[in-house]
Structure 1
C-alpha cells in the first residue's frame, strides 16, 4: 500500500528487515509542482522573511546559553555524567530550534521522515547547502527519524567554534570536530591529518555511548547547491567500515534561498520553502564508490531539484540494484572494448 502524501509520515520497519527498502513517498506531478524551487519573492515578503530569520537567529543566541549553562553547571558539579550532559544538550538544541521556528516561522519547513521503531547504530549522511542546515536538521529531527530515534553527534568544522553560541552547543552536545584550513567554500579542503586518530576515537566512543553519527560528505558548504553536489568524500564510508555500522541518507533542499553559501548573495532571500528528507532502510555499502554513487544520485537529485528520483529508480538506488547494474554495464563494456572499432569523437 502506498503511503499517504503528507509532510511527515511514519513507516514501521522491522529490525529483521533493516536493509530492505519498503514503502516510499509517492512523487507525482502535483507534488513536484508544489515543491519545485521558487524563482523569487515579492520585495516586501523577502524583507519580512529576512527579518524573521534574523529574529530566529537572535532567539537561538539567547535561548541556547540560558538553557545550556545550568546543565553545564550540573556537569561541573559532577551531578550528571558526560553522556547525560551531551544527551541533554542535544535535546535542548533540538527543542530551542523547534520552538524558535514556531515563534519566528521564517521558512516553510517540510520534513518527510522514515521512522524505525528499533533503530540500530547508524551513520547519517546529508548534503550541505546553508549555514542554517544544522539548526533546521535539529528542528526536524523528530519528524525525520521518529520518536524512537537514537541521539546523534554531528561532525563539524572546528572553525565554527569562533561563534560562541555554536561553540557552546557543539561542545556541550559532544559534536565531533574536524580540523581543516579555512580555504573558503568551493575550494578543496586541507585536513589536519594528525587529528584523524582523535576523530576516529571520538566516533567509536559515540557509538559506545549510544549515539548515531551525522556527517556531511561534501566536506564544506556548497556555494552552488542549485547546480548539484560538490565532490563527495568517502570519509563517511570509511567510518562505517571501521566501526562496522550501516549508513542511512538524508537530503535537504531550499535553505540556500534563505542564507546562501555564496557571500555575494548571503541573506538575499529568494524563497522560503525548505524540504528535508530521510530515506528508508540502512545499508552496508560494499565499497566507497557504491556509497558515493548512491549519495550523488539520491541526495544529489533531491538537493538540486527538491523532489526525489522517480519511485522505481529511487528504490533501485536505495536497495543497491542500480549500482550493481551500473557495475555490470561497466564490466560488459570492458569485455567488449577490445573487439569494438575505434570511434573518434569531437
Structure 2
C-alpha cells in the first residue's frame, strides 16, 4: 500500500536513518561491481546502463532532501526489487537476482508518483547459475506459502463481499480485517505484478491522477466513516473479489528468488513503519494491528525459510533476527483482544513509540538479510 502522508514520511525518515547507518560504511567502502544509483529530488543517476545478468547489487545514495525509494521494474512495471524509506543522506545496498532483459531503475522522491526513471539492460545468455539446494527449497516452500495465503484469502474476501452486497454493515465490519490477513502476509508478491495492488489496497491519497478508487480501503471508508453501504459499494465488493481471484491465479507465475524473499521481508517492515505504526493504513477501521501482525508474520516466514543459509554465512545476524522477531511479537501480544487486536485508536502515543522502536530494531538487521543469503557482508 503506497499511500504515504506527512506523518508516515516522518516515521520513514526515522527508520531510514537507522537502516542507513548499517549500510553506510559498506557503501562508502567502494561500490566495486555494484551499480551506483544516486537519487536526488529531481534526478536518478545510474552508473551502469548495461550490466551482466545474475546477482546484481545496487549501491544507492540519496542526495536529495526527501525520503525516497528505489525500484527495479521489468516491462509492465513488474517489480523485480525495491527499497523504501531511504532518507536524505542515507546510503543502502540492495541485492537482487536479475535475468537478461530490459529494465527501468526508478527513484521516487517523497515516495510517490511514477518516479524518475532510467532504462538499463541486463546482458547475458539464459544459462542459470546453480543455486544452493537449500535456497531452491526455500523458494519452493515460499511459493507454496504465498499460494496458500492467496487461496485462503478468497473465502474470507467473499464473506466480506457478501456482507457488503447484503447491506449488512456490522457483518461487513466484522469480516473486513480477517479478509486482509493473507494479503498482508505476502504483499510483496502481489505488488510485484504492478497492477493488482492499486486496485485492491490503495488509500485515497495514494491515487494517481484519474485513477478510480477501488478495493478494501474504499469500502473501509464507507463502512466506518460514511456508515452506510451504497449500490456502488456493492459493485466494488464484487470487483474486489474478482481482483483477488486475479491475484490468486498469478501467484504461481510470480518471480521468486532468495534475494527477492529477503528484500520482501524488509518491504513488509517498511509497510509497518509507514502505515501501521502511524495509523495511516486503517484510518477509519483502526484495525492496523491486525495488518501489523500479518506483515511481521510474512517477514518472519521468509527469514525462517532462508535461515539455514543466512545463519551459516552470518550467524551473528541470524541470532539478532531471532531476538528481534521474538521481541516484536511479544510487544504485539500485549494488544491482543479475543481473536484479534484492540482498535489502534485506543493505543496511546507512548505505546505507539514503543511499537515503532520494536519495528526499527528489527528493520536494521533485516535490511542485511539479502546480503547474508548471497554470502556478502
Structure having greater relative contact order (Cα 8 Å, sep ≥ 6): 1
TM-score by length of 2: 0.24
TM-score by length of 1: 0.26
Is the strand fraction higher in 1 or 2?
Answer: 2
